[in-house]
Chain A
Amino acid sequence: MSLWEYANPVRFIRLTDRVLPALSGAAVLCLVVGLVWGFFFTPDDYRQGSTVKIIYLHVPAALMAINAWLMMLVASLIWIVRRHHVSALAARAAAPVGATMTVIALATGAIWGQPMWGTWWAWDPRLTSFLILFLFYLGYMALWEAIENDDAAADLTSILCLVGSVFALLSRYAVNFWNQGLHQGASLSLDAEENVADVFWLPLLVCIAGFVLLFVALVFLRTQTEIRARRMRAILARERMA
């Protein structure tokens, strides 16, 4: 019994069918609890007032935007090394979810930035690197769409994902060099001296858990859909031959 067994599409579908209801239920539960707790049962920040509450959408979305790309990177590596189709399809399935998370993070950031910084958008390093990340997502998805042969598409996009990761990282530090930021530093790290206060921290944790669960559930669902779509195409092709 190893993880690689689920590289078999049938096993993968059987497993995800079993865990998906629980997973999506947990995601909904976490999100509802975390957001309601965060929006209605936490005090206002003494300087930011109630605008601080957008943190419960902004931070988890931003986290998942980066982690979705990381997951795609790992899945692409697995495809390149072990040639499991499920892995390639999972990377493909994660891309639109990650892109959406990036958009959520950027939009909530703009809504938060308007009252706090007095501007919807600033060419701050973090904002800029998220915008660049979004462009990488767009390119990745466009490449998947453009190539007709499935295996070639998986190969090319996984290599693009590897190269893109390197350049996304480079850009992240390049924009640091290029402009100073308005964005606050990290305040959720486990090892930092000064972090967000516990009243905000706990509901935020629940929200983050909710976004992670939501992401996993969506990726499972979309991967299933991809597998089934591919099967259907195979069946149709066979019927046309006969």
Chain B
Amino acid sequence: MRALLWRDLRLAVRAGGGFGLGLAFFLIVTVLVPFAVGPQTGRLASIAPGILWLGALLACLLSLDRIFALDFEDGSLDLLATAPLPLEGVVAVKALAHWFTTGLPLVAAAPALGVLLSLPGPGFFWLFLSLLIGTPALSVIGAFGAALTVGLKRGGLLMSLLVLPLYVPTLIFGAEAARRGAEGLAVETPLMLLGGISAGALALLPFASAAVLRVSLR
């Protein structure tokens, strides 16, 4: 498992740009928002937590197809499926690698981008924390969507259609926690629920993803 994790991380960092792409996308989305809604500080501050969550979510979505597509094309996914490591474990490790290369940089970058959107002072910590708790769920759910569409032509657009509705609860609780934090309200409830979603998705979805992959590889 550790070898697979290292292999995926090295591939993501060294081979072909996927690593920084999500971050750059996140930055561009954040920069575009003031152009769209106007540069007034108050208005930006009130929508900043939601925009940052949405930007992180979309950046995450953008890099999902890399989880399985390359391995599916060059056949290494077939090898992984016949390896002693159960396919569920492979899926979980690949989702984890995706989180390390996409989710974690996004979490780290979000407070910096918060400055651009004049996020209120107390919001930085809660935005950081809610993204830290929520992005693993995004990766695991996304891995399910990527597994569903792995063998398809034009899979990318379809994957967005499948994955985005699944992201709704995570987005609601995550953005709600960040917003409440920014406004200085109590954040325990949405954070707990967000953690529940992350933990539940992490525990259950690899099984569904592995079942789906077995069908695609058959």
Q: Which residue numbers of A lie inside 8 Å of B, CB to CB? A: 132, 135-136, 138-139, 142-143, 146-147, 152, 155-156, 159-160, 162-164, 167-168, 170-171, 174-175, 177-178
Contact = CB atoms under 8 A, between A and B. Distances in A.
Contacts of B166: 163-164, 167
A122 B8 CA distance: 44
Interface of A is mostly: helix
Interface stretch (B25-33, B40-48, B127-135, B168-176): B168-176
Contact of B208 (A132, A139, A162): A162
Interface stretch (B12-20, B61-69, B75-83, B154-162): B154-162
A66 to B, nearest CB: 16
Interface string B200-218: 0000010010011001101
B108 interface: no
B173 to A, nearest CB: 6
Nearest to B160: A139
What 10 A-B pairs come out closest when comparing CB atoms? A174-B169, A170-B169, A135-B165, A155-B215, A174-B172, A139-B162, A171-B168, A167-B166, A139-B161, A178-B172
A167 B208 contact: no
A99 to B, nearest CB: 13
B148 interface: yes
B215 A152 contact: yes
B164 interface: yes
B161 A177 contact: no
Given A156-B215, A178-B172, 6 more contacts: A142-B158, A167-B166, A168-B165, A171-B172, A174-B173, A174-B193
Interface of B: 144, 148-149, 151-152, 154-155, 158, 161-162, 164-166, 168-169, 172-173, 176, 189-190, 193, 197, 205, 208, 211-212, 215-216, 218
Contacts of A152: 151, 215-216, 218
B215 A139 contact: no
Contacts of A138: 161
A143 B148 contact: yes
Contacts of A155: 211-212, 215
A218 B154 CA distance: 31
A136 B176 CA distance: 23
B164 A135 contact: yes
Nearest to B141: A167
Nearest to A170: B169
Contacts of A135: 161, 164-165
Contacts of B148: 143, 156, 159-160
B177 to A, nearest CB: 11
20 contacts: A136-B165, A139-B161, A139-B165, A146-B149, A146-B158, A152-B218, A156-B148, A156-B215, A156-B216, A159-B208, A159-B212, A163-B205, A163-B208, A167-B166, A167-B169, A171-B165, A177-B172, A177-B176, A177-B193, A178-B172
A167 B162 CA distance: 12
B154 A146 contact: yes
A163 B144 contact: yes
Contact of B161 (A142, A162, A168): A142
A171 B215 contact: no
Contacts of A177: 172-173, 176, 189-190, 193
Nearest to A145: B158
B151 to A, nearest CB: 8
A217 to B, nearest CB: 29
A12 B77 CA distance: 40
A175 B208 contact: no
A177 B144 CA distance: 26
Contacts of A162: 208
Contact of A143 (B158, B165, B172, B216): B158
A167 B173 CA distance: 13
A147 B165 CA distance: 20
Nearest to B214: A155
Contacts of B151: 152
Contact of A147 (B152, B162, B205, B218): B152
B207 to A, nearest CB: 10
